[in-house]
Amino acid sequence: MKHPLRDTAESQRRITRRGLILGGGQIGFMGLLALRMRYMQVEQADEFRLLAEENRISIRLITPARGRIFDRNGAVIAQNSPSYRINMVREQAGDVDNIIARLARLVELDADELERARRELRDLRGDTEVTIADRVSWEDISRVAVNAPALPGVTPEVGLSRHYPAGADYAHIVGYVGPVSDRDLENIDAPDQLLLIPRFQIGKIGVEAKLEDVLRGKAGTKRVEVNASGRVMRELDRQEGQAGADVQLTLDNELQSYVHARLAGESAAAVVIDCETGDLLACASTPGFDPNLFVRGISVADYKALLDNEFRPLPNKAVQGVYPPGSTFKMVTALAALEDGQLDAGDTVPCRGFIKVSNRRFHCWKRAGHGNVNLLRSLRESCDVFYYEMALRTGIEKISAMARRLGLGQVYDLPMTSVAKGLAPTKEWKEAAKGEEWVIGDSVNSAIGQGFVLASPLQLAVMIARISTGRSVMPRLVKSIDGIEQPLGTGEDMGLNPNNLQQVRNAMFEVSNNRRGTAYRSRIIEDAYRMAGKTGTSQVRNITAAERARGVTQNSDLPWERRDHALFVDFAPFDNPRVAVAVVVEHGGGGSVAAAPIARDITLQALYGEDPPLDAYPAADRDSIREQQEKLRRDRPASGTDENDRA
């Protein structure tokens, strides 16, 4: 049957419309697809290129060289030594256990270090470099480099490790570095990204810790290209960081080494101050410890040995240790009485061996007494009763005020750990600290440096520097930072009566140079270097009335920990003070026996800058001094440095 022509035409029109609609839709879709492709290829090209590059380019921090530390003459105290290590990045390694197993066939891996590395690989971000083996040999590094294709994500690296050439000599002052701990991070508000690098090391104690921000430096960055297996193909570019600043201390390497050696065998401390500038020339505490042990992480056995040592090698006794200053405090009491008008040069006080205060006897060290005593003789022979009387006349408030004026009872702003404040007690202090009223017996005890009075060897050295110069000398430890000189500690005039100061100095001169002086046996013979000093003995136990009645037990008959502390302070030369010295020997017994000879030897060493000639010593001591000098030269580490060890 034939369709009418009109029906055929209508069908063709319908087909044409459908074709046009379908074709238009296809053309529209293709247009949209083309526009999207253009947008992605042109408009978003940079973004996709960056994403692609991030898949093959790794940006890593470059650890800066830590600033070095030098002595006042440029000898190295802390330096950086090359150290080879092997690192791994987890996301580039893939099967971490498999890669570690391969690595173990090439390099001997420490079990504890490997366990720590596994924890870090598990807990830290996948793109973080983790040290698998530290301080490996060059041969180990070479084997890893040759086998790099089979060790994806593993990178041999040359870094820097801290080293302390002088060992124990500076351990308490400079301190040491160690890996950043969680506690370290908790104490920092906004940690530097460097601190988040596993096992990155920062200062833990001493100068290393206190000047951490100065010594650390600023990190650099490098971009490296890695292949699909995580192997580093090439370094694309590098932006160097900024090395830490070099720090020069005021300490003298030769003198510091000598002092440390001279104190060997004792639980002791000594401080030497330049009277003109306030520079700390030596600051030693014994026994010491090797700070290099802490850099990699000290063993449990080594650390336990330090903790169990009854001589306490870890604390810095020179600035942390506080002791009753004993008779070295008598200059404070004398100056307080002189300045207050309670004492004149000609005044005398009768000493019968004791004084009775509030129905209690306060004894002099000399049981029979000294007879009539003036200021000069009271210091020369260290009469206690004279100073009991000065305490009754002057009062504790003025004595403590003088103590603070002379440098006791205050914290010095030095880059060392736990610098002690000590104590110059007052009535208000006792009420607040003890909940008790001050009694007259407290003043009497304080007048001779016992009771509540406490001072560190550093503070005693400052006290003597101020007495010898009349200026408020301030101790200085940092000489310069990156070559920039730091402020001196010369100090202003204290405003004390010059005549009063000179009377005290003259009496101190008698202590060391008069036959009846308590330190006469430890005098300096060389006229140009004569010293003025003061012995001190501070009790660590109470002496009962019963013990006094039967005779006070000699220190040598007591256990070591119950013996008195021995102290000595001095300045020299007497006519032109250059150095002030303080020595404390824990449980050493008498100051004249244990501390004075050490202080005399240190003073001479500081003045001469080398082993002093034997004729500077009393004739009776010269043979023993010769033997001592020879022994100390043998025992002291070589202190000479080549040009590479100089600033």
The CA distance from 564 to 513, in Å, is 25
Q: What does the pLDDT read at residue 232?
A: 59
Evaluate whether residue 387 is within a structural domain. Answer: yes
490-to-18, 60, 247, 311 alpha-carbon distances in Å: 103, 47, 21, 35
| pLDDT tens readout for residues 207-233 | 999 999 999 988 877 776 766 555 556
Q: Are 320 and 419 in contact (CB under 8 A)?
A: yes
Q: What does the pLDDT read at residue 396?
A: 97
Token couple for 538: 């501070």
524-to-225, 521, 568, 618, 621 alpha-carbon distances in Å: 71, 9, 14, 7, 11
Token couple for 317: 């006794």
Q: What does the pLDDT read at residue 346?
A: 86
Reduced to 3 states, what is the DSSP secondary structure of residue 398? Answer: helix
Query: Domain ends where: 249, 278, 305?
Result: 249
Evaluate whether residue 300 is within a structural domain. Answer: no
The verdict on 439 and 358 lying in the same domain is yes
Q: What does the pLDDT read at residue 273?
A: 98
Neighbours of 510 (CB within 10 A): 22
Q: Are 296 and 394 in contact (CB under 8 A)?
A: no
Q: What does the pLDDT read at residue 266?
A: 96
Split at pLDDT 50, 70, 90, the class of 153 is confident
Query: Domain ends where: 249, 279, 301?
Result: 249
Nearest alpha carbon to residue 606 among 293, 254, 294: 254
Catalytic residue (one of 267, 285, 327, 382):
327
Token couple for 25: 């839709």
Q: What does the pLDDT read at residue 275?
A: 98
Q: Into how many domains does the chain fold?
A: 2
What are residue 220's DSSP bridge partners? 62
Beta strands 129-136 and 176-179: pairing type? unpaired
Q: Taking the alpha carbons of 205, 208, 211, 216 in that order, is the dihedral positive or negative?
A: negative
The verdict on 136 and 165 lying in the same domain is yes
Evaluate whether residue 306 is within a structural domain. Answer: no
**H or E segment and range at residue 351:** strand 349-351
Q: How many CA atoms lie within 13 A of 629 on its CB side?
A: 16
The verdict on 284 and 211 lying in the same domain is no
The verdict on 496 and 550 lying in the same domain is yes
What are residue 323's DSSP bridge partners? 455
| pLDDT tens readout for residues 120-132 | 888 877 777 788 8
Nearest alpha carbon to residue 419 among 497, 477, 341: 477
Nearest alpha carbon to residue 92 among 233, 219, 239: 233
Query: Domain ends where: 249, 281, 306?
Result: 249
Residue 442 has pLDDT above 60, yes or no: yes
- CATH (domain of 499): 3.40.710.10
Interval 596-603 mean pLDDT: 98
**H or E segment and range at residue 356:** strand 354-357
The verdict on 213 and 283 lying in the same domain is no
The CA distance from 409 to 419, in Å, is 11
The verdict on 221 and 207 lying in the same domain is yes
Q: In the chain, pLDDT over 90 holds for what percent of residues?
A: 61
Residue 541 DSSP class: S
**H or E segment and range at residue 239:** strand 232-239
Q: What is the mean pLDDT of the chain?
A: 88
The verdict on 331 and 413 lying in the same domain is yes
Interval 423-444 mean pLDDT: 96
Split at pLDDT 50, 70, 90, the class of 238 is confident
The verdict on 212 and 262 lying in the same domain is no
Evaluate whether residue 164 is within a structural domain. Answer: yes
Of 40-49, 180-189, 196-205, 636-645, give the lowest mean pLDDT range: 636-645
Evaluate whether residue 53 is within a structural domain. Answer: no
The verdict on 245 and 272 lying in the same domain is no
Split at pLDDT 50, 70, 90, the class of 201 is confident
| pLDDT tens readout for residues 338-388 | 999 999 988 999 999 999 998 899 999 998 999 999 999 999 999 999 999
Split at pLDDT 50, 70, 90, the class of 643 is very low
Token couple for 504: 């005290």
| pLDDT tens readout for residues 521-577 | 999 999 999 999 999 998 876 666 565 556 667 776 788 788 899 999 999 999 999
User: Which tops the pLDDT comparison, 428 or 62?
Assistant: 428
Interval 282-294 mean pLDDT: 96
Residue 581 DSSP class: E
Of 19-28, 76-85, 490-499, 580-589, give the lowest mean pLDDT range: 19-28
Q: Are 565 and 588 in contact (CB under 8 A)?
A: yes
- CATH (domain of 76): 3.90.1310.10
Looking up tokens 């870890």, which residue turns up?
314
Evaluate whether residue 298 is within a structural domain. Answer: no
Residue 514 DSSP class: S
Q: What does the pLDDT read at residue 625?
A: 95
Domain span at residue 277 reads: 253-290+316-639
Nearest alpha carbon to residue 535 among 370, 423, 384, 379: 379
Residue 135 has pLDDT above 80, yes or no: no
The CA distance from 169 to 285, in Å, is 9
| pLDDT tens readout for residues 160-174 | 889 999 999 999 999
The verdict on 430 and 549 lying in the same domain is yes
Token couple for 630: 């020879």
The verdict on 444 and 410 lying in the same domain is yes
Global confidence as pTM? 0.84
CB neighbours of 503 closer than 8 A, spacing ≥ 6?
A: 334, 338, 345, 375, 376
Reduced to 3 states, what is the DSSP secondary structure of residue 373? Answer: strand
- Assess whether 592 carries a catalytic annotation: no
| pLDDT tens readout for residues 80-122 | 988 888 888 887 788 888 888 888 888 888 887 888 888 888 8
Q: What are the contacts of 231-239 at 24+ separation with CB within 8 A?
A: 231/92, 231/148, 231/149, 231/151, 231/152, 231/153, 232/58, 232/155, 236/57, 238/62, 239/62
Q: What does the pLDDT read at residue 640?
A: 43
Neighbours of 154 (CB within 10 A): 25
Token couple for 190: 């906004």
The verdict on whether omega for the bond into residue 324 sits within 30 degrees of 0, i.e. cis, is: no
Evaluate whether residue 576 is within a structural domain. Answer: yes
The verdict on 212 and 260 lying in the same domain is no
Q: What does the pLDDT read at residue 369?
A: 95
The backbone torsions φ and ψ at residue 80, rounded to the nearest 5 degrees and listed phi first, read -110, 125
User: What is the 3-class SS of 278-298, one letter each residue?
Assistant: CEEEEEEEECCCCCHHHHCCC
